[in-house]
Amino acid sequence: MTTLAGLATNALLAGALLAGAWLVDRAVRRRVAPQVLTLVWFVALLRLVLPNELASPASVTAGLGASSRAAARTLGDAPEWLFGAWLVGAVALLTLRIVQRFRLHSSLGAPVQLAPDWSDALANAAKLAGLRRLPSVHAVELTSPAVTGLWRPKLLLPASALERAPNRDDTHALLHELTHLRRRDLLLDEAVALLRCVFWFQPLVWLAAVRLHELSELACDADVATRLGRTSAYRATLVRAALSPAPTAALPARAFLSSRPLLLRRLDALERPAPSPLARRVALALALACAAVALPMATPRGLDREHALATLADAREGAPLSCFHLQAAALVLSADPLPHEGTP
């Protein structure tokens, strides 16, 4: 199977799981913790990088996998320009992200020396967030604090704010940004961005990237509110943030001041009671169980022919079977012809 066919196979396999993740998200987003929904989306994205031959007797998606692989085989004889188009798109997106990162980091200059009141506020926020190592601090022309950098994180603070003493909104924003670092949300951003560059032709990957960004903001807000012990005070900070001027440009950074629609969703999420620890554990166990039966999307080799014959026999007896299972059985039998007479 060519590289393009392999990518197409994984894109089709993941597309089915991403569509399922979207349906689950829409159905339970107001009743399930954002951390659990993040796991659901991330499991679906994981299908993009797993071997498409991954099989399990407990799989419920083997029929869909067989159909997807059959559809992707047609790309084995695809014209060379199609592979070139994919490569150009992937390299262009990756180059654009690298250039954006380089421009931002090259414009930062040397770290700033904070005034004592800001230094104390930063130290207190790091202690409350559970962050052991402080990032370097840079003054920039932004409307709110932000964090950037994967290996050497940098905290970006508005230059105008550093000219005054920090207020309660500033301390909440600092805690939010440092919580992103402690949760390693920047690592998640880079992993999803890399998948989006490689599988740019799969629109559901772009949808997943946007939703994962939103969910990580909701989870970070919930974490901050829990550590503060006063959800109302943190909500008041977000309300004032929603009334402030919107960001002028999108930066490759995690900013406290997000788009106004996202800020409204963050406020709405803080109004709902947090799920109990037991409910979170149950939801997490269900998500992992679904991953165990959904990620393997190939039929076990030792059971291919036997399983296909049993599937067709069940269909003749009127058993309710999905079209994916029937297509998989037909594909297995067509690829594995009947043995010759006298062959054991």
Q: How far is CA 16 from the centre of its chain?
A: 16
In sequence order, the 6+-apart residues with CB closer than 8 A to the CB of 266 are: 217, 218, 221, 238, 258
Which residue did the predictor score with more confidence, 74 or 199? 199
Amino acid identity, position 129: A
Beta bridge partners, 254, equal 147
pLDDT in tens, 189-246: 999 999 999 999 999 999 999 999 999 999 999 999 988 887 888 999 988 887 776 6
Please tell me the distance from the alpha carbon of residue 262 to that of residue 269, in angstroms, as a whole number: 10
**pLDDT tens sequence across 263-318:** 888 988 888 877 777 777 777 787 788 788 777 777 665 445 666 676 677 677 76
Query: What's the pLDDT tens digit per position in 136-186?
Result: 999 988 778 899 988 889 999 988 889 899 999 999 999 999 999 999 999
Domain ranges of the chain: 3-105+183-294, 301-335
> What does the block give as tokens for 288?
């992992």
Q: Is the pTM of this model over 0.75?
A: yes
For range 47-64, the mean pLDDT:
76
Q: What is the pLDDT of residues 99-149, one digit of tens each?
A: 988 888 888 888 888 899 999 999 999 999 999 889 999 998 877 889 998
237 close to 60: Cβ distance less than 8 angstroms: no
Whether pLDDT at 324 is above 60: no
Tell me the sheet residues that pair with 148.
154
CA dihedral 224, 166, 102, 262 (to 10 degrees): 40
Q: Which residue has the higher pLDDT, 225 or 325?
A: 225
Which of the 8 DSSP states describes residue 265? H
75 pLDDT band (50/70/90 cuts)? Answer: low
Contacts of 271 (CB under 8 A, 6+ apart): 235
| Range 134-158 burial, b when 16+ CB lie within 10 A, else e | ebebbbbebbbbbbbbeeebbbbbb
